[in-house]
Structure 1
């Protein structure tokens, strides 16, 4: 096997979680070039990774044109965790001889090998992605590497921490989300921020520019927090997470950044549930309001609570999150 392709153009967290798949392919085919298709804007995520030979950005326009680009790449195998109709069509049009994808993917009949998409208690997205390599076991000795990884050098981390004046121990809070019902109340995040400030720790807020309303509200209620929302590059964001004592985040990409750089992380669930497979894979815990009949209300959450009460977040009080955060820190000390 000389040239292998992985296709994942979903959200940032989904992309980060393909690192074990990429590493496993590289270990299985050490002489091969392993290329990765990402959503345009995410080209820097795996910069410097020894397990990725080429990053191919896709702006999700021009299906035929992009399929022709892939066809010119002389790939012998493509593995796709991405489950969209468009992805399946592009890969079929590319003419890559062997195409492995999930049975739940749109137009899954375009794949030469279809793998069962598993979901349930204890099954993580990393495990599902690695399931995609099982069809190869018939022909190759597949080597599985289950450790998530984001390549960061000490110099890169140090530069970012110096830029944002993060000399003292700090906790990172990530209060934003693309989906409103996945976002814990900013007022509650502010209470958590005040608790850690009371312990003498610096509190840093992170997020994309679209998360600014959440971060701004926390900043208004917790004087002295460092608000980096929308102010970091992707790589600086990773570095800030790497340098943290602890990360507290909604069900969103900061959780997966934290597990990939070895930072303890506490994940807060609202509309979604751990059974979807995006709980902390390692060095982390999660909190949720259990036995609420309306959870989950969607695979991604939604713009508003369909029941109109938002109990999954409103009734999950700050003291519960603080207690779980202290439990996590104690377990690692």
Structure 2
């Protein structure tokens, strides 16, 4: 195969996790050109990523025009973890000879190689099966990975005057029920500062500014960067941090891609969906409840009206996880173990 396309135009977290598939494709077909198609505006995530020959942004408009563009690029195969009807139709129109997608995709019959979408395994493993369906001898690497330069880390430190060790706190989410209580994030920020000597750095998009401000008001010694960073700066903050504490949202996967200690707070969602943090120093904070899970994306409001999955998940349940991952990380560094 001379030219290979990976097609993932879903949200940021999905795009981060597809990095493991891209690495595996590149290593399995040395000498081939590997391209990524992603949602327009997200292409900067893959700047400097050595396993790609190019990124093709798509604004989800003009299906036929974009399909024609892909057809002109003469791809031999496309691997598509994205399961939308639009994607299946677009790739069919692209006339790429081998189109590999999941059997649960909308219009899955338009793929000529369909792979069983298995629940209960991590997304990176599911994605790898797309490649393995074509090449049983493929070199599979399940670890997500992204690139940020030391200059980028230095630049974002200077921008926010971060001349000290810091922890990243990400209190936002598109879905309200996936947001841990702001007061709990604030308590965790104070714990990180007072017990671990780490200044809390609050991150988020412009949409996350209200909840970020609510957390910041309770920990005024924190640094609030929400709404003030682009994607590359957010990545640099996570790459330069000592630990990440976040809801079940994209910072989970950025932390995994930079092999950072991470605590992910899961309320309406569960690990079995396959989007939990990866790495030896990754933990999920959750409590068992009869109503969990209530949906793969959470929701706008608690269906039961009590929101216990988050309210009962108090900060004292998270502190031991922080102690655990930071102690393990310190031990690995002192022992010369590559974490």
Give me the TM-score of the superposition, normalised by structure 2: 0.95
How many corresponding residue pairs? 328
Post-superposition shift, 1:248? 0.3
Deviations 1:89-132 (CA, angstroms, capped at 9, x unpaired):
00001100000000111111011111111111xx2111111011
**Which residue of structure 1 lines up, in the alignment, with residue 141 of structure 2?**
145
Deviations 1:161-182 (CA, angstroms, capped at 9, x unpaired):
1222111111110000000111
2:20 paired with 1:30 = no
Separation (CA, whole Å) in 2 of partners of 1:137 and 1:46: 25
2:193 paired with 1:194 = no
**Which residue of structure 2 lines up, in the alignment, with residue 7 of structure 1?**
7
**Which residue of structure 2 lines up, in the alignment, with residue 53 of structure 1?**
53
Post-superposition shift, 1:142? 1.4
2:236 paired with 1:239 = yes
**Which residue of structure 2 lines up, in the alignment, with residue 134 of structure 1?**
132
Which shows bigger deviation, 151-160 or 9-18? 151-160
Separation (CA, whole Å) in 1 of partners of 2:49 and 2:328: 31
**Which residue of structure 1 lines up, in the alignment, with residue 216 of structure 2?**
219
Separation (CA, whole Å) in 2 of partners of 1:210 and 1:16: 20
**Which residue of structure 2 lines up, in the alignment, with residue 300 of structure 1?**
297
Q: Give the alignment's Cα RMSD to 1 decimal.
A: 1.0
Separation (CA, whole Å) in 1 of partners of 2:283 and 2:38: 29
Alignment of 1:39-78 (within 5 A): 39-78=39-78
**Which residue of structure 2 lines up, in the alignment, with residue 119 of structure 1?**
119
SS at match of 2:44: coil
2:90 paired with 1:90 = yes
The answer on whether the counterparts of 1:124 and 1:281 sit within 8 Å (CA) in structure 2 is no
Alignment of 1:317-332 (within 5 A): 317-332=314-329
Post-superposition shift, 1:332? 2.0
Q: Which runs of 5 or more residues in structure 2 are unaligned?
A: 331-339
Separation (CA, whole Å) in 2 of partners of 1:164 and 1:257: 20
Separation (CA, whole Å) in 1 of partners of 2:4 and 2:241: 35
The answer on whether the counterparts of 1:83 and 1:101 sit within 8 Å (CA) in structure 2 is yes
Separation (CA, whole Å) in 2 of partners of 1:195 and 1:285: 17
User: Which one of the candidate residues 155, 159, 179 is aligned to 2:155?
Assistant: 159
Separation (CA, whole Å) in 2 of partners of 1:226 and 1:143: 42
The answer on whether the counterparts of 1:248 and 1:267 sit within 8 Å (CA) in structure 2 is yes
Post-superposition shift, 1:331? 2.1
Separation (CA, whole Å) in 2 of partners of 1:92 and 1:211: 37
Q: Which runs of 5 or more residues in structure 1 are unaligned?
A: none
**Which residue of structure 1 lines up, in the alignment, with residue 180 of structure 2?**
184
**Which residue of structure 2 lines up, in the alignment, with residue 260 of structure 1?**
257
SS at match of 2:46: coil
Alignment of 1:90-109 (within 5 A): 90-109=90-109
Post-superposition shift, 1:328? 1.5
**Which residue of structure 2 lines up, in the alignment, with residue 315 of structure 1?**
312
Give me the TM-score of the superposition, normalised by structure 1: 0.96
The answer on whether the counterparts of 1:3 and 1:75 sit within 8 Å (CA) in structure 2 is yes
Post-superposition shift, 1:147? 2.3
Separation (CA, whole Å) in 2 of partners of 1:213 and 1:274: 28
**Which residue of structure 2 lines up, in the alignment, with residue 110 of structure 1?**
110
